[in-house]
Structure 1
Amino acid sequence: MIQPKHQDEKKPFPWHLIVFLTPALLIYGTFSVYPLLDTLFLSLFGTQQGQSTFVGLQNFITLVTDDNWSQAFWNALINNFKFFAIHMLIQNPIGLLLAVLLSSPKLRLSGTYRTLIFMPTMLSVVIIGFVWQLLLSPIWGISENFLYSIGLGHYFDAWLGKEGSALITLSFISVWQFVGIPMMLIYATLLNIPDDIVDAGVVDGANPLQTFWYIKLPLILPTIAMVSILTFVANFNAFELIYAVKGALAGPNFSTDLMGTFFYRTFFGFQLQQGSASMGAAVATLMFLIILVGVMLFLFFIQRRIQRFQF
């Protein structure tokens, strides 16, 4: 007589999953989790009379209230929000527009345009900063002659050398370099939209603008949301472009100082400023908390309200 198989029979433990996941977990824990926890731990200590002592939250209080630290901290934080706002208001809309144009089947040589637009993202930030510094130089740059040749010479100025325009100029350079990333992400999503949906809208009498606004845009909103949060995280980790063009002092007069360059000077020291590992860890912890809070607010108020469609 055949015995019925019990429904509650335990399946063998999947040991093979542990074998495959252990190397990745070890690498991730060693190079990501441990440094993060160590930084959080270090931010709670300070150096007094040459010895490391536990100070709790005093380093954070010093950063935001002490006269020697607070001005530089708030200046870097405000500049970082300006840097992020320019990318959100200029880079991502341009990336969306380029993606829509390149996804048009009527556009010829679209592959060449995609390559040319995406190419700057593959270049070193140091090279990008050096080249643009040469182009915009009032002494040997070609920007002044170019603007005069098209009748806009009176708009030329030493944009990288003035406090009011240096950060905006660097933001535009960053937008030019990285606009290919949102363009490609949105472009890939547009290509995944079934032609039947678009054709149905056209049959119902929708013009190209209505087709995009009422059909395509709702379908790519999750990708636009993902691009927005990636922009936020990347901008609050920005460092290389500012350092390559303006150095660790983020001149002129710290007008281009971001949280990344402020952390660099605080942790490693620069010129007359002595480095402090505990204060640098406090700056890094605040950067982590700002990014964490921003991502959580985004997920809570925006991401969960976006309706997703499966084709």
Structure 2
Amino acid sequence: MSVIAVPKVRSKRVTTGVTLSRRTGMVFVLPALILFAVFIAYPLFTALSYSFFAWTGIVRGDFVWFDNYVTLFTKLPYSTDIPNAFLHNILLFVGAMVFQNTIGLGLATLLHRIGRFKQFFQTMYTLPYLVSPLVIGYLWSLMLSPLFGPVNAVLRAVGLDELAQPWLGNPQTAIWVVVIVTAWQWIGFPVLLYGAALGGIPAELDEAASLDGASAWQRFRSVTLPLMVPAIGTVSVLTFIGAMEAFPIPYALGGSQGNPAGATDVLSLLFYRTAFESGASNAIGTSSAIATLLFAFIFGVAVLFTVMLRRAERNLT
């Protein structure tokens, strides 16, 4: 009995198709890679290289190894400004997380359960997220003005004169104004993300728990919330990155000096002030060291969060 050999035309066609699809995908990805390389990767590596040199104005001097980094933690004003600014960045992150994982998640759950006007409210909550943070900051600075701001005017009108105060002029309240304004602007993003995650949870799971006698809170805590872990993790990572890179709102509310008395200072403002306003002879080297440390910290913590998120997702399956 003879055996007829069949040429492997199909496998060759499949291989060719895969190769073409990969090449097509690279063509579409290439513009994004070029933009990333030009506007992100190149400035990062440039800042890293600048941080290892001494500078006189814009003239590069000798290679000084880690002297610029040592300066940040041993010489004034950096040794006091960096811990102060870093603490404010952490407060921004914690405050945003508290707002987003309580109010944001609550709003998303409420909108998920109602059918009427759902898209309208989603749009309303998302509008501040679409406006420039610098514009948001300036608008809130006008609203909180102790002279003509509507916030203090309303407080006085309802008999709460003792609460009316210069919110951005008091070091005790200024940083919390920055935290609240930042959380208020970005609340629309977690509302949308949590809403999408809630829509992806099968309704049968909630119905089964209800038939077993579970209350609404028990169903949310034991069924819905564990399935929301991936969305919560994504919001946490993006919130951390945004809080550590915060610049427009602190700048609009407190200026480049982080007024009053450094109460609204953050690391990005410190970098900007060192690079463009300090007048120091080695401003480029010192500010590049600040930028490099900030990037290393953000990147390291973001990678750690991502690893923990993926582990939590694997535990759900």
- The two structures share one fold, judged by TM-score above 0.5: yes
User: How far is the alpha carbon of 1:48 from its aligned partner?
Assistant: 5.6
Matching residue of 1:248: 256
Alpha-carbon contact 2:55-2:281 (below 8 Å) kept: no
Please point out which of 232, 247, 256 is paired with 1:239.
247
Equivalent AA in structure 1 for residue 249 of structure 2: L
Amino acid at match of 1:165: T
Where do residues 168-179 of structure 1 align in structure 2 (5 Å cutoff)?
168-179=176-187
1:194 is the counterpart of 2:194: no
**Are residues 1:278 and 2:280 paired?**
no
Q: In structure 2, what is the Cα distance between the partners aligned to 1:191 and 1:151? A: 44
Residue 55 of structure 2 aligns to a residue whose secondary structure is strand
Distance 2:154 2:213 in 1: 46
Deviations, residues 236-279 of structure 1 (Å, cap 9, x unaligned) = 01000111122111101111000110010111225x66671111
Aligned residue among 2, 5, 13 for 1:3 = 5
Partner of 1:79: 88
Give, in angstroms, the shift of residue 88 of structure 1: 1.5
Q: Distance in 1 between matches of 2:140 and 2:99?
A: 19
- The answer for the alignment partner of 2:79 in structure 1 is 70
Amino acid in the other structure paired with 1:186: Y
In 2, Cα distance between equivalents of 1:128 and 1:23: 31
User: 1:231 deviation in Å?
Assistant: 0.4
The alpha-carbon deviation at position 43 of structure 1 amounts to: 1.1
Shift of 1:52: 1.8
Q: CA deviation at 1:145?
A: 2.6
Contact 2:229/2:312 (8 A) holds in 1: no
Aligned residue number for residue 107 of structure 2? 98
1-structure distance, mates of 2:280, 2:56: 18
Q: Give 3-state SS (helix, strand or coil) of 2:61's partner.
A: strand
TM-score where L is the length of structure 1: 0.90
TM-score normalised by structure 2 residue count: 0.88
Quote the Cα distance in structure 2 between the aligned partners of 1:210 and 1:235: 33
SS at match of 1:159: coil
- From 38, 45, 49, the equivalent of 1:37 is 45
SS at 2:62's partner residue? strand
Q: 1 CA distance for matches of 2:208 and 2:195? A: 21
Mapped pair 1:259 → 2:261: no
- Using the alignment, how far apart are the partners of 1:18 and 1:300 within structure 2? 27
The question of whether the paired residues in 2 share the 8 Å contact of 1:64 and 1:74 is answered with no
Deviations along 1:152-191, one digit per CA (max 9) or x if unpaired, are 3322221110111101111111111111111110011101
1:122: how far off?
A: 1.2
2:34 pairs, out of 17, 26, 35, with 26
- 1:96, distance to aligned residue in structure 2 (A): 0.7
**Residue in 2 that maps onto 1:52:** 61
Whose helix fraction is larger, Structure 1's or Structure 2's? 2
Per the alignment, residue 112 of structure 1 pairs with 120
Q: Deviations over 1:4-33 (max 9, x none)?
A: 5579x8845544454444333323222222
Q: What percent of counterpart residues are identical? A: 33
AA of the residue aligned to 2:39:
F
Residue of structure 1 equivalent to 2:135:
127
What RMSD in Å do the two structures reach over aligned CA positions? 2.4
Which of the residues 293, 296, 301 maps onto 1:294?
Answer: 301
Q: Unpaired segments of 5 or more residues in structure 1?
A: none
Distance 1:28 1:2 in 2: 54
Judged with a 3 Å threshold, the aligned counterparts in structure 2 of structure 1 residues 229 and 19 are, in CA distance, closer, same or farther, namely: closer
**Retained in 1: the 8 A contact 2:52–2:66?**
yes
Q: What whole-Å deviation, never above 9, does each CA across 1:60-112 have from its counterpart, x for those lacking one? A: 1110122332111121111111121111222332111111111113x632222
| Local SS of the residue matching 1:277 | helix
Per the alignment, residue 61 of structure 1 pairs with: 70
Q: What are the ranges of 5 or more consecutive residues in structure 2 without an aligned counterpart? A: none
Q: What residue in structure 2 maps to residue 218 of structure 1?
A: 226
